[in-house]
Amino acid sequence: MADFRPDPLLDFSGKVALITGAASGFGALLAEELGRRGASLVLGDINEDGLAPVVEKLTDAGVAVQAVACDVSSETDCAAMVALARENFGRLDIAVNNAGIAPPMQYFEDVEEETFDLQHSVNVKGVFFGMKHQLKLMRTQGSGIILNVSSMAGLGGAPKSSAYAGAKHSVIGLTRTAAVEYARHNVRVNAICPFYTLTPMITDMTAPEGATVEQVHGIFAAGCPMKRLGKPEEVVSAMVMLCSPALSYVTGQTLAVDGGVSAF
């Protein structure tokens, strides 16, 4: 990992990147990709046991890493991650608000208030609290890049996922608003919207009564022009691109990584 020589477009040497939800899925893979391209990392996840092997692998590869337990629904925890970056590396160049959860699939009328509130606590507050403190530091620095992980459910309707879709639509609203507010400070804010991808959120999902997970995956794939689900590395490649300092005139955008679904 330490011997990797990136193309200048994707060179993160000397950059400091913060990633939430870094114990698995997109977060863990993105940490590895940014680390081998020269970035120092601040990683957070509520799952400390899952975060530990990610940190160990990166450290063994010579990547500078700081890690902390982080519940993104807590503003205190989100602020602590930004403080950790400032205290240990002196700045924060890139922040990826990746942590998120998905509820069991349910019809709209069956969603309980507790489920709705949890979706918004993690998927909306988690992004808002993170951005609030990331933006403050980046404004002071006069530069920064924020990438928020939304979903295709944030771009359109998502049957049996109403609470999740509402939360992910909110992520896009927060992204666009911050992009407009902070563009004058040389801070760029974008979002990525993956289609169903084979991360633990999808592979470990609970299928609706009367169906198997494999059947649900088949239904998802049938709705995609490529007739398959996404691979985590396909989404992470797009995330790396959106985090590139070279994309200096791109802000307020939402990139669908969806196998062509949004082309319908």
Residues known to be catalytic: 164
22 vs 259: CA distance, rounded Å = 24
135 vs 44: CA distance, rounded Å = 18
